[in-house]
Amino acid sequence: MTSPSQSELTTPPASVRDRASSIPSVEDSPGLRLLPFVLSLIAGSLDITGFLGLGGLFTAHITGNIVILAARLVAHEPSPLSHAIAVPVFMAVLMLTRLCVAGLDRIAVPSLLPLLILQFLLLSMTLGICLAAGLSAEPNRPAIALAGMFAVAGMAVQNALVRVSLADAPSTAVMTTNVTVFAMDVGEICFGGSQSGRARARSRARRTWPAIAGFLTGCALGAICEPAFGLAALAVPALLSLVAIGFGVKGSRRRATADPA
């Protein structure tokens, strides 16, 4: 017989259960299934455009800035301010985003759409500042550093929403993890001995490969657009973030229709 204390340990609180059931899954609708692909497009295009146009700043692969900063310090070369503060800004925005999600949970508002809208606003600010500063502005200018931090903040929001606002989604910015998971799943599908294990790997691989393809496609877009249009190429991830809102709205409406309770 299970004691009351054991029951309390094994049964999650009602608030936890309610939150888990309120988080949309990428499997809920075609719109939500396409959302990780679009988010990965945003991350890839923004990362390449930022690297080429914002003085070598990584906006999606955020820890890459630590590598560049360390290399320049060892070589006694000057480093832009944006490289030094990118990681602290990223972490601060992640914590603020989690606080925002907690507030939305308290009033029973799903956080996916608010975070998608917030990301669009941040990337639009990045684009607006760069257009005001000039399409070929010096990366060390304070305005460009500020634009870079808005881009980093946008990627922090995206990383957070994939973790707390969208269930069963792969990473849309850290491709090392996705490539590792995908390669291991392919190996499991080909050589695994358990039928259930192969089925789980096949399902996971179906969710992971669009994110990898989206990031690579986004990188290609950024590599083409930034040399051709300068910092105006930041319009690509900004517009893609607007597309992501559309998929989020469509997916959320379909989920609400399917589960009116």
Give tens-digit pLDDT for 54-64. Answer: 988 999 988 88
Condensed to tens digits (0 to 9), the pLDDT of residues 121-168 reads 999 999 999 999 876 667 778 888 999 999 999 999 999 999 999 888
In one-letter notation, the amino acid at residue 198 is R
Assigned token pair, 71: 């290399």
Q: In this predicted structure, what is the pLDDT of residue 241? A: 96
The confidence band for 255, taking pLDDT boundaries of 50, 70 and 90, is low
Q: What percent of the chain has pLDDT over 70?
A: 86
Q: In this predicted structure, what is the pLDDT of residue 188? A: 92
Within a domain: residue 197?
no
CATH code of the domain in which 46 resides: 1.20.1250
CA gap 109, 113 in Å, rounded: 9
Q: In this predicted structure, what is the pLDDT of residue 256? A: 54
Q: In this predicted structure, what is the pLDDT of residue 218? A: 97
Q: Is 261 helix (H, G, I), strand (E, B) or coil?
A: coil
CA gap 102, 81 in Å, rounded: 32
Cα atoms in the Cβ-side hemisphere of radius 13 Å centred on 43: 26
Within a domain: residue 9?
no
CA gap 61, 44 in Å, rounded: 9
Condensed to tens digits (0 to 9), the pLDDT of residues 49-91 reads 999 999 889 999 888 888 888 888 888 787 778 888 999 999 9
Within a domain: residue 252?
yes
> Among 49, 41, 45, 245, which residue's Cα sits nearest to residue 147?
49
**Cβ atoms 240, 46 nearer than 8 A:** no
Domain that holds residue 40: 28-173+211-258
Instruction: Please say if the pLDDT value at position 8 is more than 90.
Output: no
Q: How many domains does the chain have?
A: 1
Assigned token pair, 211: 């994110």
The mean of the pLDDT values for the chain is: 86
The confidence band for 9, taking pLDDT boundaries of 50, 70 and 90, is very low
CA distances from 37 to 31, 77, 212 (A): 10, 38, 8
**Cβ atoms 15, 108 nearer than 8 A:** no
The b-or-e profile of 113-124 (16+ CB within 10 A means b, else e) is bbbbbbbbebbb
Within a domain: residue 21?
no
Within a domain: residue 2?
no
CA gap 53, 237 in Å, rounded: 14
Residue whose entry in the numeric block shows the structure tokens 């259960």? 17
CA distances from 229 to 224, 226, 232, 234 (A): 9, 5, 6, 9
> Among 207, 210, 214, which residue's Cα sits nearest to residue 237?
214
DSSP summary character for residue 25: B
Within a domain: residue 194?
no
Within a domain: residue 196?
no
In one-letter notation, the amino acid at residue 14 is A
Condensed to tens digits (0 to 9), the pLDDT of residues 98-110 reads 999 999 999 999 9
Please tell me the pTM assigned to this model: 0.86
Within a domain: residue 206?
no
Q: In this predicted structure, what is the pLDDT of residue 5? A: 46
- H/E element, 160: helix 142-164
CA gap 181, 30 in Å, rounded: 23
Q: In this predicted structure, what is the pLDDT of residue 235? A: 96
